[in-house]
């Protein structure tokens, strides 16, 4: 096919890739294989991780892949070995698995990244009703709000328990609000 006019002499300007993370740390360039880009983008932005996804292995610092895909893709293993790229795997394409693996890749401990908290920290009395309500909120956040980007309404709770659920939502850097009238007042958690 012939050009009707000459091709442009200068390439289109692309936005420069960041060189430092949100808190001034070095960026880790990750090549993802067999993992949901949507999940990865959500985890990276929600947790403000210093990670940039790259589409080509040449510019990657590491590979993040679904374990079953790595087992059956010897070419990827070979290329990574030749380029001296570490391959990090996740067992499943779930948010908690992706979060844990990215934390491990970045050498972050649980205190540096706000995720999967110890619920007893939010419930000083470790009351069974409080822990149940916090577990409800945690599961809603990890299984619906973050992965699916959908708001969730929790069950009606007392003002004291709703306050704990609000704090848990803040821990995940999500917005939440109480609505309804007592005794049916409940919390709604919104995606970031």
Output the DSSP codes for 133-147. Answer: HHHHHHHHIIIIIHH
- For the entire predicted model, the pTM comes to 0.50
CA distances from 21 to 57, 99, 132 (A): 20, 17, 36
Evaluate whether 70 touches 33 at the Cβ level (below 8 Å). yes
According to DSSP H, which parts of the chain are helical? 37-46, 67-71, 74-82, 95-105, 128-140, 146-148, 159-171
Predicted pLDDT of residue 42: 82
Q: Rounded to an integer, what distance in angstroms lies between the CA atom of residue 113 and that of residue 124?
A: 22
Q: Percent of the chain, pLDDT > 90? A: 25
Domains contained in the chain, CATH given: 28-105 (3.40.50.300), 119-190 (3.30.1370.50)
Predicted pLDDT of residue 53: 93
Q: Count each helix (H run) and each strand (E run) in the chain, helices first.
A: 7, 7
According to DSSP H, which parts of 48-158 are helical? 67-71, 74-82, 95-105, 128-140, 146-148
Q: Which two tokens stand for residue 152?
A: 């969730």
Predicted pLDDT of residue 25: 64
Over residues 139-147, the mean pLDDT reads: 87
Helix axes 37-46, 95-105, angle to 10 degrees: 60
């Amino acid at each position: 096919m012939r050009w009707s006019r000459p091709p442009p002499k200068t390439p289109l300007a692309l936005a420069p890739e960041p060189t430092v993370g949100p808190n001034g740390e070095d960026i880790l360039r990750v090549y993802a294989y067999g993992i949901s880009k949507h999940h990865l983008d959500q985890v990276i932005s929600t947790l403000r991780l210093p990670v940039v996804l790259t589409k080509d292995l040449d510019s990657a610092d590491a590979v993040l892949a679904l374990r079953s895909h790595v087992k059956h893709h010897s070419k990827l293993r070979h290329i990574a070995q030749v380029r001296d790229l570490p391959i990090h795997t996740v067992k499943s394409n779930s948010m908690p698995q992706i979060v844990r693996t990215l934390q491990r890749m970045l050498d972050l401990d649980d205190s540096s990244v706000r995720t999967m908290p110890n619920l007893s920290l939010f419930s000083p009395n470790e009351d069974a009703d409080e822990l149940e309500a916090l577990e409800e909120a945690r599961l809603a956040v990890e299984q619906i709000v973050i992965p699916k980007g959908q708001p969730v309404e929790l069950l009606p709770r007392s003002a004291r328990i709703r306050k704990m659920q609000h704090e848990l939502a803040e821990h995940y850097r999500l917005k939440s609000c109480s609505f309804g009238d007592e005794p049916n007042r409940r919390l709604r958690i919104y995606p970031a």
